[in-house]
Structure 1
Amino acid sequence: MKHHVTVGVDGSPESRAAARWGAREAALREVPLRLVHAVDWLISPSVPQPGREAAGRWADEALADAAQDVRRRHPGLDVSTRCLSGRPAAALAAEAADAGLLVLGSRGVGGLVGFLIGSVSLSTLVATETPVVLVHVSDAPEEAQTIRYGEIVLGVDIHEAADKVLTFAFEEAERRGCALRAIHGWKMPSMYQYAPFFDPENEREVGRSVTVMLDDMLMPWRHKFPSVSVTHEAFEGPTGAQLVHAAASADLVVVGRRLRRSPLGVHLGSVAHAVLHHAAAPVAVIAHD
């Protein structure tokens, strides 16, 4: 059975954008779309029954409105709704277990258009192994018309096994019939900072070597997805900043998720963190740890 696309809905403009983006993705994949809403305080005994009923009605209305909107835009799409009871992040992560993709809405910020990652989105990201796409309001297609897809930008770490990340990016590019641009950032070993005589040729040689490694890493997927036009860039500097810059003209940005554990809890790696907070395009986060 083909996996469906799940979208978290809460009645906000951000979740409406996520529902529209998720519907378009489900149509591309030719799979059903499932709209879900998690009601946290339905399970609390301290909430009076009238309050619970009102929350239930509001959730049903939010789901019905989102379903009506996407059905109007995609008449042939199989759309279902589900109201969940429990902590939103845990409920969404559990609901996503049998989904092919989870889509969440996120709020744009300031002049550098990007995301405000709320606690629910962040907690869901670290709790699920399902690919997650975060969408903000401006990413929602206005009409279900034929769309000319642009470029997918992929952040690659040549020092990590990233099969799931690469497969997701190439499949998305093949599905859309668009180009894929792979980006990797590198830096000189710290020992060169203390070298009394620095030869610029050493830096150029490292750059050439990294470019070859990136090309070698992509080669199996080039053969597996021959219809996908692929370019790659290896440059000196932080990968996150380059991905944010590239996202300005991208249809989708794809990054891997590596969890960092500290005494303060679990958090995302620096590249995913930078892209999620500042990229202008939708961002797909793929677990590969």
Structure 2
Amino acid sequence: MLSPVIAGVDGSAESLAAAEWAAREALRRERPLRLLHVWDWHPRGHDGEPANAAQRHLARRTLRQAEDRVRERVPGVVLTDEQVEGPATAALLKAAEQSDLLVLGSRGLSGFTGLLVGSVAQGVVADATRPVVLVRAGEEAGDERALADDGSPSPRTAHRDVVLGIDLADACDEVIEFAFEEARLRRARLRVVYAWQQPSAFGLGPGEIGLVDDPERPEEWRGFLSAVMAVWRDKYPATEVLETVVQGKASTALVRAASGASLLVVGRRLSQRPTLPRIGPVTRAAVHHAGCPLAVVPHE
């Protein structure tokens, strides 16, 4: 049985946009879609049973709202739903293990009814061993495609670029393959972005030479990037690839490249030491500032 695309829903505008995005993605992948709502369990006692009954009622209403939106806007998707007990982060991480892809709203409600708040989404991204996509409120199907000649959204225009942020010092097959697959599914161009910074003389080790003003450095990075991409171009000959090398901070370059993209793909190394931070600065900047859906792909 095919593992589903799973969308976490909590009634927020972000989670409804995530559910709709996940439905389109499920169709592209030829997978079923499962809508998942997590509610807080209260132990038996003074308010336990009434509170749990209220939570289950709220969960049913939240799931029905998301189902209605998905069935209206993405009618061809195979759809199921499920409600489970929290805590939210743990429940979503468990669901991710059973998914082809987990999709969440990048921000959600706060307080008693809000489960997919920013800290929860970030906690899932930090610990998930499967790819996670974060979607902002207001994301529509038309946002995935280039505008028509008259400046209006059109289902007939080509998909906007898929953007892959790559670290040439740690180029991981899982992340690259995910980005190529997303571009293939959309028949979109893949734009691969690498940002480099000139080494500081203060950061050099003994015997190292800092070529601070080396005019050939950008061309060397372009050659390195092309060499890394060569095998993937052969594997995906129908996918147009644009290789971009820029000087500057990677976070700035990726957030800029994500403007006008259909999807931004970044990697996250699986931590062997849970006490250490598990979201690097580049991924963290993308989570907070990317203007398009963000896919975070874990890798060894």
Question: Higher strand fraction: Structure 1 or Structure 2?
Answer: 1
Residues 1:77 and 2:77 are matched in the alignment: yes
User: Which of the residues 155, 158, 162 maps onto 1:146?
Assistant: 155
Residues 1:255 and 2:266 are matched in the alignment: yes
**Any unmatched runs of 5+ in structure 1?**
109-115
Amino acid of the structure 1 residue aligned with 2:96? A
**What SS class does the counterpart of residue 170 from structure 2 fall into?**
coil
Contact 1:182 1:230 in 2 (8 A): yes
Contact 2:250 2:282 in 1 (8 A): yes
Q: 1:44 to 1:219 in 2, by over 3 A?
A: farther
In structure 1, the residue matched to 2:92 is 92
In structure 1, the residue matched to 2:248 is 237
In structure 1, the residue matched to 2:147 is none
Amino acid of the structure 1 residue aligned with 2:162? I
**What SS class does the counterpart of residue 67 from structure 1 fall into?**
helix
In structure 1, the residue matched to 2:220 is 209
Amino acid of the structure 2 residue aligned with 1:226? P
Amino acid of the structure 2 residue aligned with 1:287? P
Amino acid of the structure 2 residue aligned with 1:67? E
Amino acid of the structure 2 residue aligned with 1:246? A
Question: Higher helix fraction: Structure 1 or Structure 2?
Answer: 1
Q: Residues 44-71 of structure 1, C-alpha deviation per residue, up to 9 Å, x if partnerless?
A: 3454211110110000110111112111
Displacement, 1:29? 1.1
In structure 1, the residue matched to 2:105 is 105
User: Which of the residues 179, 197, 221 maps onto 1:169?
Assistant: 179
Residues 1:188 and 2:198 are matched in the alignment: yes
In structure 2, the residue matched to 1:127 is 127
Q: What is the rounded CA distance, in whole Å, between the counterparts of 2:21 and 2:49 in structure 1?
A: 35
In structure 2, the residue matched to 1:111 is none
**What SS class does the counterpart of residue 169 from structure 2 fall into?**
coil
Q: What is the rounded CA distance, in whole Å, between the counterparts of 1:21 and 1:177 in structure 2?
A: 17
Amino acid of the structure 2 residue aligned with 1:177? R
Q: Residues 53-93 of structure 1, C-alpha deviation per residue, up to 9 Å, x if partnerless?
A: 01100001101111121112222211000101121111011
Q: Where do residues 215-234 of structure 1 align in structure 2 (5 Å cutoff)?
A: 215-234=226-245
Q: 1:138 to 1:183 in 2, by over 3 A?
A: same
Q: Residues 173-225 of structure 1, C-alpha deviation per residue, up to 9 Å, x if partnerless?
A: 0000010100011122223889xxx977x522222111111111111111101
**Any unmatched runs of 5+ in structure 2?**
109-115, 144-153, 205-209
RMSD: 2.7
Amino acid of the structure 2 residue aligned with 1:268? I
In structure 2, the residue matched to 1:44 is 43
Q: 1:238 to 1:260 in 2, by over 3 A?
A: farther
